[in-house]
Structure 1
Amino acid sequence: MFGYIICNKKGLSQEELDRYQKVYCGLCKTLGERYGQMERMSLTYDMTFVILFLSSLYEPPEKEESFRCAVHPTRKKIAVENKFTEYAADMTVLMTYYKCLDDWEDERNHLKYRYAKILEDSFQKTVQQYPRQSRIVASSIKELAAIEKSHNSIPDDAVNCSGKMLSELFVYEEDFWSNSLRSFGYTVM
């Protein structure tokens, strides 16, 4: 569902790898600034990919900043941020909240339940700011739960539901690219 994308670092040039790392650091930094240090634990490659993709398409202004990272304090890091970094941080909180609740339902994982409770205020802010994405994710999560409980479902049902849900995350706002972004997000994620 979420958190399964990994970066194929062997397939990237050094320049591409540097760019990827800067965007990844930017997302981590933004999560900490917007939501707090606990929310940084939600960091995934999925949303880094979304930032890279949307940034390539729209080419928004970016800022690059050198900073000290609490997780890697021995040397300075460089973060690249733009409007899609904030969007990806918000979507990270949205998806992590639901993933934690799903882990609670499936496995009775108490740590995930507690983490969902920690994320609750941040989650509510995201729901208010992004009603379209929040509505699609919520309905898709319910549909996925029904598919998981059904004895008649086929694996493609869950894949298609997840694809529909995640494809919405590629659409920052409704514009010329929206339908293409949905199609791309559906097949990639």
Structure 2
Amino acid sequence: MFGYVTLDRKTLCSDDARRYQAYRRTLAQSLRQRHGPLAQLALSHDLTFLDILLTDVYGDGRKAAPLDPRFSNGFSGYAADMSIALAFHSAQDDWSDDHNYMALALLHQLRGRYAAVSHRYPRQCLAISHGLQQLQRCEAQKCPDPTVPASYFGQLTADVVSPVKGDCAEALRQLGAGLGEFSYLMDAYDDLQADLRAGRYNPLAALAGSPDYEQQCQALLKGAMARCLAGFEQLDAARQDTLLCNVLYSGVWQRYRALHAAPASKAVREARLSFFLPHGPRR
């Protein structure tokens, strides 16, 4: 995805740090075993989080096994396959948008692997493909409402986060949708100035000249995370996991805090506003 689903290491206890690294190693091994050594480049915090979340919700896979035998050995294999699916579509998007030859090379490397993943998980891969097509349509139309493309990304994330039908599926979908919306909006917030300078579409561009731009962005981000956490709070086993709580209540805000940190943050915000306002920042 975008890399915002990460840890707040300042508040992370040592036991949770070790457990997180163990999950990352397991996911890296699954990527290598299922898709070859180069697949480890697709290792991400986002899918590590997904492996932990699904393991908390369904145990080591035994509870999910009667519903779907593909998960009888746990969820690291599923997280590895979704890593490949997302990496493939990301490379496809990069090639389509920028004719990036590195992306084209990656597409050739992943095509066969992705075909196997889409055969195993047609619903998820179709959701990813459909969601990204909708995002491309928003981009082509320069959609001024940031909630529209964010909702499309949230829908595809919801399908990735809820692999098993059952009692927890709806809560997982709600969590995934909110988390996807937050990640999309946070990425837009992070990239706004660079996108406008390069003439690229950014869903927050229509808000950029507003004197309450920062407040509007914060409201959008908080609203998305509120929807995510409403789903998370319904998952009894997951919400008791201090590692997942670290990610969802604090870690996802790491980049936002970094952008607003340091004594010069006021000057940075004013410089950002002055880029959009011809007469400088409004007071």
Assess, with a 3 A threshold, how the Cα gap between structure 1 residues 116 and 7 changes in structure 2: closer, same or farther.
Answer: farther
- Aligned mates of 1:11, 1:169 — CA distance in 2: 28
CA distance in 2, matches of 1:160, 1:61: 30
C-alpha distance after superposition, 1:4-31 (max 9, x if no partner): 4332222210000100010011101110
1:75 alignment partner in structure 2: none
Q: Does 1:133 align with 2:129?
A: no
Deviation per residue, 1:69-120 (Å, 9 max, x gap): xxxxxxxxxxxxx521000000000010000111112222110111011000
Query: What's 1:24 paired with?
Result: 24
Partner of 2:37: 37
- Separation in 1 of the partners of 2:55 and 2:79? 11
What is the CA–CA distance in structure 2 between the aligned matches of 1:136 and 1:43, rounded to whole Å?
A: 21
Question: What RMSD, in angstroms, separates the aligned Cα atoms of the two structures?
Answer: 1.5
Contact (CA 8 Å) 2:61, 2:75: kept in 1 or not?
no
Aligned residues: 170
Partner in structure 2 of residue 180 of structure 1: 171
Aligned counterpart, 1:69 = none
- Tell me, which stretches of 5 or more residues in structure 1 are unaligned? 63-81
2:19, 2:61 → 1: CA distance? 15
1:1-189 equivalences under 5 Å are 1-60=1-60, 82-189=73-180
Counterpart-to-counterpart distance in 2, 1:92 and 1:152? 28
Greater per-residue helix proportion: 2
Tell me by how many angstroms 1:169 deviates.
Answer: 1.0
Which protein shows a greater Rg? 2
Q: Is the 8 A contact 2:55 2:61 kept in 1?
A: no
Q: Answer yes or no: is the 8 Å Cα contact 1:24–1:48 preserved in 2.
A: yes
Secondary structure of 2:75 counterpart: helix
Residues 2 and 95 in structure 1, CA contact (< 8 A), matched pair in contact too = no
- Going by fraction, where is strand more abundant, 1 or 2? 1
Letter in 2 for 1:20: Y
Q: Secondary structure at the match of 1:60?
A: coil
Aligned-partner residue type, residue 22 of structure 1:
A
- Secondary structure (helix, strand or coil) at the match of 2:172 reads helix
Partner SS, residue 101 of structure 1: helix
In structure 2, give the amino acid aligned to 1:51. D
Choose between structure 1 and 2 for higher RCO, CA contacts under 8 A separated by at least 6 residues: 2
Q: Distance in 2 between matches of 1:61 and 1:151?
A: 43
User: Residues of 2 paired with 1:94 and 1:108: CA distance?
Assistant: 20
**What whole-Å deviation, never above 9, does each CA across 1:131-174 have from its counterpart, x for those lacking one?**
11111111111111111111244222121111111111111211
Q: Is the 8 A contact 2:55 2:75 kept in 1?
A: yes
Give, as a single letter, the amino acid of the residue that structure 1 aligns with 2:167: F
> Measured at CA, do residues 130 and 112 of structure 1 come closer, stay the same or move farther in structure 2, by a change above 3 Å?
same
- Separation in 2 of the partners of 1:113 and 1:9? 35
Deviation at 1:61, TM superposition (A): 5.9
Number of the residue aligned with 2:215: none
**Percentage identity across paired residues of the two chains:** 25
